[in-house]
Structure 1
């Protein structure tokens, strides 16, 4: 089977959740599959690996004026998508690198919908509604849609009246597990809770800071380890106001081995997000042997089930109680670790790929 992966996401994201998804998907395709990827990003982007992978690369803005270069780029990718023979197209995002709508493809389109953030948090994430409109056109044009959780599917159906039979639920998985966690990478010397990922407003990080400050009052040696982008000015002010300056440890983006060790050595991983399309970090945490404290909303109960502590993300007191519980109850904490291992084993990238192949074959036939 010959599959075209429209590589728009690589123009915006050198690494990240969608990047990892396609790396795992393409990298695990059978050896009698022939994936092609269109791309105009820099060469150091984390591309997928496959023995038959063909990358159609365009060096963006390699001549002036840039406007002409951009038009040539789109024309180049339109020729590839139109005149090369493929069985289907699986875009990496909701718009095409060709600059055209998905209905222009000559082949069936399989589209993965990761979440409904643009629709549910439009005032923060998409105030002009431009992203949601592009997404709507992509969803309408696709012959098959993959949703990464049941919750994402239900949210999709609320906003877009498409036939339910066009949708298949295929969860993500984790490529990080405890086997990676025994290197010599540094971790905080004091006991710490761990937070990993974006801290956009819907991620509810401010409430975590408030709950953590409540707990530090009785556990003064406690640390909160944060992995992700640098703190904003607003976050720095909140940290100072809550007198947490000496209780935070910050790490920038890390290798998988370093991250796995931070997971394993933490008291618990905390995920207070108001909304997730799936939520890979809790799955990573369970795979690395740390308890998960997560919101009881959106897709997170699907991922964590009874293997973690779930709380109302609008209640600072509930979150504080969960933090105290794992500190005060080491036996219960160990039970959560074992349940987490069992839960994490239910997800695998091989399973994800096999289910995706079923969608590919159905569409291509």
Structure 2
């Protein structure tokens, strides 16, 4: 593979390309040629109406609604969660495809992108829950990136899935691969390429996501916005087949004391109050309006503040700070990122499109005031609503930044409280997403007909088995609320008890 990139995710050749699998990293679901016509073009406008509150699927057994951050419905009894108090997953193998850790060249303890960080946080909770019920989680590795408690095996070729143990197998991939040898659950993060006009044809890294949607027995989604787009762009509108659970943030994000933030700022040469931007800043991230807004500010405001950037610019000399002082930092870990959030005059994230968008919640959890873009205003209004300023133009950005200068800011306690429903409170963190996803993999309901659904269902005997509750440290089996004899259904194979209420 001399000088050849191993995946389209890479911007340049690196030495780890030589260790890429002998076959293409992403294969079509069943190894056939991709002959499907290209997906429909994106809408002409990126101005969206708020996401609708959809009704549950017909026949769904509705119950206790999820927290504000999630929307997976559970079966409910008179006193809350209905459960048999039992869970036997003997002979069931939940197979996780860890391809993302190869694609992003990630090592333990190193910097992680959003998807890698997501599964690094979710999978341990799933592993503990499955192991405690006698089941198995297999981490199918393409590079050596292990998870404690899982069966860590090398899977350069996904044909190995067929040879893995388990009377029942459930497979999901960290980045869009699929197999016909197990119940295939398709993880969908976003439809950013379609919504922003990026190339998403069959030669790109995004095509397997699109292609494999037709094969999946069911879906996992990171936000209501993503689930809405599955319907709007691809007609996947029956939401009982989509386990939608909002992304969460790490409990590492909480407001740091003033002396700690000031010491860090001094160490990094941050000498003024600052507007903070975190992450990538190209294209749809919409930071062009940030720089335009700075250019419109009165000189006294530009002199008063500076800009702190975490992350590389889209390309050299692509950003004009219009005379405002700028400090750029790279590879900032969560502990130090929390210090930056805690000390910021405001956090700026004007994105037009995301799957979920975690940085604003990280900032809010640390008490930072927010200046956000059209995505959070129009597609995720349930997250911040009127607790943030919004900007879609340079003029609106100028107005939002001027409000900060004039001291028109929210009490940080309000923002911290709002963020608690998405992970800063450990009872409602990634363990809650693990619960939503795992219960869907066990119970369904699953689509009928696609190749990836043929091995789905039949994992438990009752819709009340294998129901979990979150604690401050993870997941535990929900206590029994119904006599076991009444809860049993001999023919249960995964039905509407796991439906999604949006």
TM range (shorter): 0.7 to 0.9
1:305 pairs, out of 382, 385, 388, with 385
SS at match of 2:318: helix
Using CA pairs under 8 Å that are at least 6 residues apart, name the structure with larger relative contact order, 1 or 2. 2
Q: TM-score, normalised by structure 1?
A: 0.82
Q: Which residue number in structure 2 is paired with residue 17 of structure 1?
A: 114
Closer/same/farther in 2, CA of residues 119 and 131 from structure 1, 3 Å limit:
farther
Q: Which residue number in structure 2 is paired with residue 358 of structure 1?
A: 439
Larger radius of gyration: 2
Matched, 1:292 2:365: no
Superposition deviation, residue 234 in structure 1: 4.0
Q: Which residue number in structure 2 is paired with residue 65 of structure 1?
A: none
Matched, 1:248 2:326: yes
Greater helix share, structure number: 1
SS at match of 1:346: helix
Q: Which residue number in structure 2 is paired with residue 341 of structure 1?
A: 416
Closer/same/farther in 2, CA of residues 149 and 53 from structure 1, 3 Å limit:
same
Superposition deviation, residue 170 in structure 1: 0.4
Superposition deviation, residue 180 in structure 1: 6.5
Q: Aligned equivalents of 1:268 and 1:82: distance in 2?
A: 53
Matched, 1:192 2:267: no
Superposition deviation, residue 81 in structure 1: 4.2
SS at match of 1:321: helix
Q: Aligned equivalents of 2:327 and 2:314: distance in 1?
A: 11
Matched, 1:113 2:188: yes
Q: Which residue number in structure 1 is paired with residue 355 of structure 2?
A: 277
SS at match of 1:317: helix
Closer/same/farther in 2, CA of residues 125 and 223 from structure 1, 3 Å limit:
farther
Q: Aligned equivalents of 2:201 and 2:297: distance in 1?
A: 36
Closer/same/farther in 2, CA of residues 81 and 280 from structure 1, 3 Å limit:
farther
Q: Report if the CA contact (8 A) 1:180-1:256 is conserved.
A: no
The residue correspondences of 1:153-232 to structure 2 (distance < 5 A) are 153-162=227-236, 163-175=238-250, 176-178=252-254, 182=260, 185=264, 186-187=267-268, 188-215=270-297, 217-219=299-301, 220-230=303-313, 232=315
Unaligned runs of 5+ in 2: 1-88, 107-111, 423-428, 445-456, 460-502
Q: Report if the CA contact (8 A) 2:290-2:397 is conserved.
A: yes
Closer/same/farther in 2, CA of residues 117 and 82 from structure 1, 3 Å limit:
farther
Closer/same/farther in 2, CA of residues 200 and 48 from structure 1, 3 Å limit:
farther
Q: Report if the CA contact (8 A) 1:216-1:222 is conserved.
A: no
Matched, 1:8 2:83: no
Q: Aligned equivalents of 1:3 and 1:322: distance in 2?
A: 47
Show CA shifts across 1:243-288 (max 9, x none).
34xx111000211111000000000111011111111000100111
Show CA shifts across 1:133-160 (max 9, x none).
3212222222121222222111111111
Q: Aligned equivalents of 2:221 and 2:181: distance in 1?
A: 23
Closer/same/farther in 2, CA of residues 120 and 235 from structure 1, 3 Å limit:
same
Q: Which residue number in structure 2 is paired with residue 34 of structure 1?
A: 136
Q: Aligned equivalents of 1:258 and 1:81: distance in 2?
A: 44
Q: Report if the CA contact (8 A) 2:220-2:243 is conserved.
A: yes
Q: TM-score, normalised by structure 2?
A: 0.60
Q: Report if the CA contact (8 A) 2:255-2:342 is conserved.
A: no
1:54 pairs, out of 125, 142, 151, with 151
2:216 pairs, out of 142, 147, 153, with 142
Superposition deviation, residue 209 in structure 1: 1.2
Q: Aligned equivalents of 1:125 and 1:253: distance in 2?
A: 28
